[in-house]
């Protein structure tokens, strides 16, 4: 793997599910703003400060402009570079208007070289669907930026994790299989040190085609991985403190205080009906 010249640290947050109090609804499993504020308070104390912040989607719970304004307010307090992905709970229009200062519904892919690391964020959002996909424009963007920056270590951020071949979880939990396979081909041999995702609300690491795929717990809730048929949702929340060294990638999973209690449950039939 191509290595950075010095250890590079970054924070991986995901699934903020921010929701302005006026829009608080019964599908919100906790005070997501309080969780985000607690994380921001802790990371503000880190010395030295991390090199960048990566947030891999579900920035808001309902994709409304007021919740993006709340996000902008909080991110305005964070001094480090920020890379944001969109998740299935997000909406490109309000996100673009509030966060990017650009109207429109175009997918949001972007990249930056930060401390010698090439950080690439792709947009897997499919409006109206829980599942994720990457269209031809996203792959073209990926190929173009990789070709333009040869020889750099790379970190990829996207909301939906690529599907792990042979896994029996419902397809809606992942990037679709065809796009996952195409992504693996696009990234092969390109110095990818880690792929960071969210969506499933389970802290999980997979070695996928030789690349670590790191899924963060997120700040909304936790899905119990021991519950294989139904979906048991708990109050677990957390984020990742990541270091990319010449020897490779380390992710330390930081758990926010929680009781481990069940906050919601979906039956196997209800899970099967989700798309
Ligand atoms: Fe989420």
Q: How far is CA 25 from CA 61, 87, 115, 195, in A?
A: 9, 19, 40, 32
The per-residue pLDDT for 40 is 97
**For residues 16 and 219, is the Cβ–Cβ distance under 8 A?**
yes
Distance 217 CA to ligand 1 centre (A): 9
Q: State the residue for tokens 């930081």.
A: 254
Distance 268 CA to ligand 1 centre (A): 19
The per-residue pLDDT for 239 is 98
The reported pTM is 0.96
Distance 88 CA to ligand 1 centre (A): 7
Distance 17 CA to ligand 1 centre (A): 7
The per-residue pLDDT for 262 is 93
**For residues 60 and 90, is the Cβ–Cβ distance under 8 A?**
yes
Distance 73 CA to ligand 1 centre (A): 21
The per-residue pLDDT for 229 is 81
Domains of the chain: 8-273 (3.60.21.10)
Distance 176 CA to ligand 1 centre (A): 17
Rounded Cα distance, 55 and 266, in Å? 27
- Strands of the sheet with 211-215, listed across from one edge: 110-114, 117-121, 154-157, 192-197, 211-215, 204-208
Distance 261 CA to ligand 1 centre (A): 18
**For residues 97 and 65, is the Cβ–Cβ distance under 8 A?**
yes
Distance 109 CA to ligand 1 centre (A): 19
Name the token pair of 154. Answer: 């790379």
Q: What is the 3-state secondary structure (H, E, C) of the chain?
A: CCCCCCCEEEEEECCCCECCHHHCCCCCCCCHHHHHHHHHHHHCCCCCCCCEEEEECCCECCCCHHHHHHHHHHHCCCCCCEEEECCCCCCHHHHHHHHHCCCCCCCCCEEEEECCEEEEECCCCCCCCCCECCCHHHHHHHHHHHHHCCCCCEEEECCCCCCCCCCCCCHHHCECHHHHHHHHHHHCCCCEEEEEECCCCCCEEEEECCEEEEECCECCCEECCCCCCCEEEECCCEEEEEEEECCEEEEEEEECCCCCCEEEEECHHHHHHCC
The per-residue pLDDT for 125 is 98
The per-residue pLDDT for 171 is 66
Rounded Cα distance, 218 and 225, in Å? 14
The per-residue pLDDT for 20 is 92
Distance 254 CA to ligand 1 centre (A): 18
The per-residue pLDDT for 149 is 98
The per-residue pLDDT for 189 is 97
Rounded Cα distance, 14 and 219, in Å? 7
Distance 140 CA to ligand 1 centre (A): 26
- Bond into 240 cis (ω within 30): no
**For residues 11 and 217, is the Cβ–Cβ distance under 8 A?**
no
Is 251 in a helix, a strand, or coil? Answer: strand
Distance 62 CA to ligand 1 centre (A): 11
- Pairing type for strands 52-56 and 82-85 reads parallel
Spell out the per-residue pLDDT of the chain, length 275, in tens: 578 889 999 999 999 999 998 767 788 988 999 999 999 999 999 999 999 999 999 999 999 999 999 999 999 999 999 999 999 999 999 999 999 999 899 999 999 999 999 999 999 999 999 999 999 999 999 999 999 999 999 999 999 999 998 887 776 789 999 999 999 999 999 999 999 999 999 999 999 999 999 999 999 999 999 988 888 999 999 999 999 999 999 999 999 999 889 999 998 888 888 76
């Amino acid at each position: 793997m191509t290595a950075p010249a010095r250890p590079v640290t970054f924070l991986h947050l995901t699934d903020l599910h921010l929701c302005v109090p006026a829009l608080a609804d019964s599908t919100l499993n906790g005070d997501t703003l309080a969780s985000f504020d607690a994380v921001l308070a802790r990371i503000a104390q880190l010395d030295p400060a991390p090199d960048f912040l990566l947030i891999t989607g579900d920035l808001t719970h309902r994709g409304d402009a007021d919740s993006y304004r709340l996000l902008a307010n909080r991110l305005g307090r964070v001094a480090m570079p920020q890379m944001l992905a969109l998740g299935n709970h997000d909406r490109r229009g309000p996100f673009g208007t509030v966060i990017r200062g650009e109207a429109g519904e175009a997918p949001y892919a972007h990249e930056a070289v930060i401390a010698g690391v090439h950080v690439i964020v792709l947009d897997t959002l499919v409006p109206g669907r829980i599942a994720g996909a990457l269209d031809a424009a996203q792959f073209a963007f990926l190929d173009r930026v990789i070709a333009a920056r040869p020889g750099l270590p790379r970190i990829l951020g996207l909301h939906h994790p690529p599907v792990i071949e042979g896994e029996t979880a419902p397809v809606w939990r992942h990037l679709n299989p065809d796009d996952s396979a195409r992504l693996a081909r696009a990234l092969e041999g390109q110095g990818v040190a880690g792929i960071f995702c969210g969506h499933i609300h389970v802290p999980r690491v997979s070695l996928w085609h030789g690349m670590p795929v790191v899924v963060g717990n997120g700040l909304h809730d936790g899905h119990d991985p021991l519950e294989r048929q139904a979906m048991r949702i708990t109050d677990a929340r957390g984020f990742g403190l990541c270091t990319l060294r010449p020897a490779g990638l380390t992710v330390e999973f930081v758990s926010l205080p929680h009781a481990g209690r069940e906050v919601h449950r979906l039956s196997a039939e209800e899970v099967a009906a989700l798309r």
